[in-house]
Structures are given as C-alpha cells and as structure tokens.
Structure 1
C-alpha cells in the first residue's frame, strides 16, 4: 500500500460575495478531488488544538501525526533545520522576514505593514540584504542567516522564548504600533529599528525602487522557538517517506521526522510554482520504494493572505489538475490511499489564519465507497458524521484505518 498526503495550505475559507457566496473550494472546478470525495470518507478535523495559534507549523505537525501540545516549540527552529543550521539546546531561532513598511512616518513604531514579503523579493537580492544586516548587527550571541525570498532566520545563542512576537502576515495594512515585540529588554525591537536604517537606502533597494518594486526596508522578527525533538515517522508508522514542499517550514518538519526532503526545480511557494514537478517527484519517490509522500502546496495560503480571490480559486484548480490528477494516474499500478486537506483556513476576507476544523478526504483504492458527499468543500464535510477532534490522530486513521 502507498500513502499520499496532498495538502493545500490554507485553502479552506468562508463564502465570498465575489464567488456567488461560495467558498473557493465550492467555486473551484476540481473534478478529480470531487471524484475522490464521492468515493471516499469525507469529514472534518481540528488540526489546531485550543490554546495554540493557528499557524502552518502546529497544523502541519498535527496532520503529520505529532501532537502540537507535546512537540510544538515554535516555527523558526523547524525552518532553521531545513536551512541546515545546527541549533544547540539553548539556541533560540526566530523567523526574520524582509518586509516593506510605510516610509512617511518619522517614528518606526508608527509605520504600517505594507507587504510582509517585499513584493516576493528574489533570493539573490535578499541574500545581499541579510548579509548587510548581519555584518552590521551580529554579536557573539546574534547571527542572521539568509534563506529563500523574504524568509530568513536569526539565531540567538542562550536566548529566551515567549517574546511577544507577531507574524507579519497577520497585520497586513495595519499600523505596527501594537504588534511590536514585547520582550523586556527591547533587544528585538532595537534590531528591527536599526535594520531600517541599514536597508532603506541600500543599493539593492534603490535598484528595486527604480524598477517600480517595493523595497525590503526592515527585518521583522517572529516565530521564536527551540529545536523540537520529533520521533521518527518511520518508527511511528512503519513507513518510509518523503516531504515535497517549497517552504523551509515543511522541509524542516520532514527532516525532523526523518523523512527525505525532496527538492523540486521551479517551486516558489506561490501560484507560479511548479505544480507538475511536485506531482512527478511524488510519483518517482513512490516508484523508487517510498511508502509515503507528503505533498505540500503553499499557493492557496499566500493568495488568502493577499486577498487574491481569483488566484486562490485558480490555485485549487491547479492543485486538482496538475497534482492530484497526475499522481492518481501515476500510481495506478499500486494499491494506495490518498488524504486531501488544508492545514487550516486562510479566509480571504480576514487575510490571516483561523483555527476552525478543516475538511478532509481519505480515499482507498482498494475500498471505494458510495459517499454522501457531492463534492469536496467545507459545507459537504460539515454534513458528515466523521469528526476528528484531535488532529494528530488523523494520520492513524489514514495509515491504519482506525483512530
């Protein structure tokens, strides 16, 4: 038996007037996913436990079968692992976004979060900027490490957690005054303020401005935590596996669970990603002997954060036509199970994550059923009597057929 998880990050949503009062999942043309729903088990799962912020970190840990209340230590250490950074038990890693803040205000704290990704700044440009920040601000205990696009990492030796940091994608178009770090020493805020002076007139940003692009004029620190100690996925479920994702967070979860992290050329974490490449990589991994693959697609989440209504619909349609359909065709020679779901909702009208239960499908090629679900969406799933309260137990249902 082969096992495939296909996760559309943040694709659950609320009805939108622009979509005939349907959700993107209801509105999207997704015949292959709907077919799976008609022949599989459809239900709801609570991926984000009460008391934990609805982030992709905790939610994907749940989907992978790891209880966030036991294993979750913060987002950034998972990304740091993916970047190849060695964290000691006392190191604290923080996500370091390159953001674009408004520029008219005299005080840093009065600025507005215009763009948490600085117009999806290129990796080459951002590397130069992060290196400039590191050259100016590194100390014996603070170091900055370049990542991909706007996503980078700061490591604080012997640092502290519970710093009162806010994800920048949660405050798009909001004044940052009430969302600045709340740690006692003010060190993080001081670093962010100094970064603005370093970056605002940097040659890379001057060139971006000349091209009509938003500048990356500040760092934004958040997602603090220490390296988690996940048990091996193979030890838990007796399956060999691989993770396929464009983003460091999911790669880091996979690496911590001792799954192979498969890089796919042309993946971006957005709607222009290489959907077909991910499908082909999943098929090859299974053909090469892996029992399990986890295919993560970031695009619906990014579209939700940016209030890109049609692009969110399109991202779901592309997931259906260029990932789900090719994978099913490519693994017909095997007996297989497929799990399709989001990790959390990212409602377009809120532009941030929420913690409501999300719809899922489990399809078993050896045990097709006549499902009452007419399609795969939030409202069809709510009609089901299948509800998994503890999200980390969904993997038991998927792998073993029971909770």
Structure 2
C-alpha cells in the first residue's frame, strides 16, 4: 500500500456572496476531486489545537502527526532547518518577510502594510535585497539568512522569544501599533525601509507595475526544534514535496526526504506538474511509502484577497496535481490511499488564517464506497465525520 497527502494550503474558506454563497472550493471546477468524492470518505478535521495560533506551522505539524502542543517551538526555527542553519540552544530564530508598505511621505509608523509577500517577489530579486540589508544591519548578534521568495530569516544570538505580529494579520492596517516592542528589532525594520525603498531592484519593480519589497517584517520567533523521526514513529519511509522552507524544515526535523522540484516557487504559477510527477516517481520508483505534496498557492491567493485566483489555484491542484498522481497510481495497479485536505482556512474575507476545522477527503483504491457528498466545507460538515485532534489524522490514513 502506498500513501499520499495532497495538501492545498489555506484552501478552505467561507461562503462568498459573489460566488452564489459558495466557497472557492465548492465553486471551482474540480472534476477529478468530484469523481474521487463519490468513492471517498468526506469529513472534517480540526488541525489547530485549542488556544494555539492558526498557522501553517502548527497545522502542518498536526497533519504529519506531530502534536503542536508537544513539538511546536516557533515557526521560523522550522524554516531554519530547511535553510541549513545550525541553531544553538541559546539562539532565537525570527521569520524575516520582505513586505510592501505604503509609498508615501508619512513617518514609518504611520505607513500601512499592503502586501506580506511584496507581490510574490522572486527569490533572485529577494536575495539581492537581503544582501543589501545584511551589509548595513548585520552584527555578531543578528545574522541574516536567505530563504525563498519573500521568506527569509534572522538568527538572534541569546535572544528572547518575544511575541511578534504576523504581517498577513495586519494587511491594510497602520503598522505603528504592530511593530516589535523590542527597540533594536523595531529600529532594524525602520532602517530596512530606508535601505530598500529606493533600491534599484524596487525602482525596476515599480516601473514594471510590480509591488516593491520596501521593508522587512520580523515575526515567528522561536527556539531550536526537536522532532522525532517520522519513519520511526509511523514505520513509513516518507518524502516531502514543497516549495516553502517551513515544510522543508519540518521534513528535515522529522528525518523525511525533501524532493526538490525545479520551478516550484510557492506561488500561483508554480510547477504543479513537476510536483505531481515527483510524487509518482517517489512512490513507484524510489521506494517511498508516503509522499506529502504541499501546494502553497491557495493560501497566497487567500492572503491577497483574490477570489478568482484562489479558485484558479484550486482548479490547478485538481487538474495538474491530483489528476496526474491518481492516473499514474491507477495505471500502476498499486494499492494506495490518498488524503486531500487543507491545513487551515484562509478566508478571502479576512485575508488571514482561522482555526476552523477543514474538510478532508480520504480515498482508498481497495474499497468500494458509494458516496453522494461532494468535497467541500458544507458537505464535509454534513457528513457527521469529525476528527477532533489533527495529529491523529496520519494514523487514520495509515490504519
């Protein structure tokens, strides 16, 4: 038996009036998921433990079988594992977004944050901007590390796990009240704007009609993580396919294998087919029992409040990922179980995450199920099936 999770990050949502009170998942044209739903178990799973912040970090840990209450030590330390930073016990890791703030004459504190991703800035451009900041701001206490696209990292030697605000939680808000209480971090963010606002990369981006990456934003502080081995825990040899450092870092911490896919960038125009083909190869040719295929695009479109593009991301997931994996596994005659789900909702209405339960669809090629439900939030709730602890989902998949 082979096992695969296809995870559409932030895919769940709320009914939207302009879509006839359907969610993007329900509205999207998803013929493959529709066909699978007829033969699958549909239900809800709660991936965010009560009282914890709804993030891709806690949610994906849950889906992979790691109880966040036990294993979560902060978001950016997981990304540090992916980047290859060897954290000391006394280090604090901080997520360092390149963001877009308003381009006006107001003081820094009175500006508003427009885009948490600087228009999904490319890794190539972002690397140049981080190097410009590093040249001016890096010290023995604060070290900068380059990640992917807008997602980067600072290691704070002998730092503190202070509470910092996620940029996607304060979109279109004046930033002053959300800046770090720590004086040094706050001043570094202000100086980053001075360094980046008129940098040639951003001058060029404005000329092309793109959003500039004109400030850094620090968040997600945490300490060095310790995850148990996925294979020892589940007795399954697992691989991760993702474009984002968070998921790659979880895989590193869990001793899973990271499969790199050329052109996978965490955006709407990622290499969907490459991810699907890599998953098929891992399961059928490389001896892996389990593959986790993570697609970031629905979440990014939710944060940007783009209904049509979130629908497009879901349709891409259906036609360019799930279809390829399903057809290849069917043709191979290999028995398999496929779990399709989001990690958390990212509703268009609020452009950030919520802790609501998410719909799952579990297909088993060896079972004959006659199901009248569709795969969406409404039908998942109507099914009456509910898994209250997200970290138990992986055992449910493998049982």
- Gap regions ≥5 residues in structure 1: none
Counterparts of 1:362 and 1:349, CA distance in 2: 28
Confirm or deny that 1:42 pairs with 2:74: no
Distance 1:277 1:221 in 2: 32
**Pairing partner for 2:268 from 271, 274, 296:** 271
Alpha-carbon distance change, 334 to 173 in structure 1, aligned in 2, over 3 angstroms:
same
Q: Distance in 1 between matches of 2:315 and 2:122?
A: 26
Q: Which residue of 2 aligns with 1:304?
A: 302
Count the aligned residue pairs: 396
Shift of the alpha carbon at 1:201?
2.2
Secondary structure in 2 aligned to 1:300? helix
Q: Distance in 1 between matches of 2:277 and 2:227?
A: 28
Give me the whole-angstrom Cα distance separating, in 1, the residues matched to 2:64 and 2:159. Answer: 28
CA deviation string 1:53-93 (max 9, x = no partner): 10000000000000001111111111111111111121111
Q: Displaced runs of 4+ in structure 1, greater than 3 A?
A: none
Give the aligned partner of residue 7 of structure 2: 7
The TM-score normalised by the length of structure 2 is 0.97
Shift of 1:214: 2.3
User: What SS does structure 2 have at the residue aligned with 1:382?
Assistant: helix
Following the alignment from structure 1 to structure 2, what is the Cα–Cα distance between the partners of residues 372 and 231?
A: 39
Structure 1 residue 372 displacement after superposition: 4.1
In structure 2, how many angstroms separate the alpha carbons of the residues matched to 1:30 and 1:125? 34
1:241-287 deviations in whole A, cap 9, x for unaligned? 10001111111111111111111111121111111111100000001
SS in structure 2 at match of 1:222: strand
Q: CA deviation at 1:105?
A: 4.0
For the pair 1:388 / 2:387, whether they are aligned, the reply is: yes
Moved more, 342-351 or 122-131: 122-131
**CA–CA separation in structure 2 for the residues paired with 1:315 and 1:204:** 28
Instruction: Report what 2:172 is aligned to.
Output: 173
Partners of 1:14 and 1:368 in 2: CA distance: 31
1:94 is matched with which residue?
A: 94
Change (3 A) 1:385 1:210: closer
Mapped to 1, the partners of 2:324 and 2:209 lie a distance apart of 38
> Of residues 181, 184, 189 in structure 2, which corresponds to 1:187?
184
Equivalent pair of 2:115/2:304 in contact (CA under 8 Å): no
Alignment partner of 1:208 is 2:205: yes
In 2, the alpha carbon distance for the partners of 1:204 and 1:190 equals: 23
After the TM superposition, which residues 1-400 of structure 1 pair with which residues of structure 2 at under 5 Å, given as runs? 1-161=1-161, 163-183=162-182, 186-287=183-284, 288-332=286-330, 333-373=333-373, 375-400=374-399
- Aligned to 1:331, the other structure's residue is in SS state helix
How much is the aligned-residue C-alpha RMSD, in angstroms?
1.2
**More off after superposition, 116-125 vs 92-101:** 116-125
Partners in 2 of 1:59 and 1:342 — Cα distance?
9
C-alpha distance in structure 1 between counterparts of 2:37 and 2:90, whole Å: 46
Structure 1 range deviating more: 47-56 or 94-103:
94-103
CA deviations 1:372-398 (Å, max 9, x no partner) are 42x100010101221111110011111
1-structure distance, mates of 2:16, 2:268: 20
Query: Which deviates more from structure 2 when the two are superposed, residues 275-284 or residues 133-142?
Result: 133-142
Question: 1:94, CA displacement in angstroms?
Answer: 0.7
Which has the larger displacement, 359-368 or 196-205? 196-205
How far off its partner does 1:212 sit?
3.0
Q: Distance in 2 between matches of 1:384 and 1:227?
A: 40
Query: SS at 1:327's partner residue?
Result: helix
Q: How many Å separate the matches in 1 of 2:175 and 2:166?
A: 11
In the aligned structure 2, how far is the partner of 1:4 from the partner of 1:329?
Answer: 13
Deviations 1:182-207 (A, max 9, x none): 34xx2211110111122122222223
CA distance in 2, matches of 1:105, 1:48: 41
Cα offset for 1:5?
Answer: 0.2
TM (normalized to structure 1)? 0.96
Q: For 1:278-337, what per-residue CA distance to the aligned partner results, in whole angstroms no more than 9, with x for missing partners?
A: 110000000111000000010111111111111111111111111111101111221100
Where does structure 2 lack aligned partners over 5 or more consecutive residues?
Answer: none
Query: Partners in 2 of 1:316 and 1:206 — Cα distance?
Result: 33
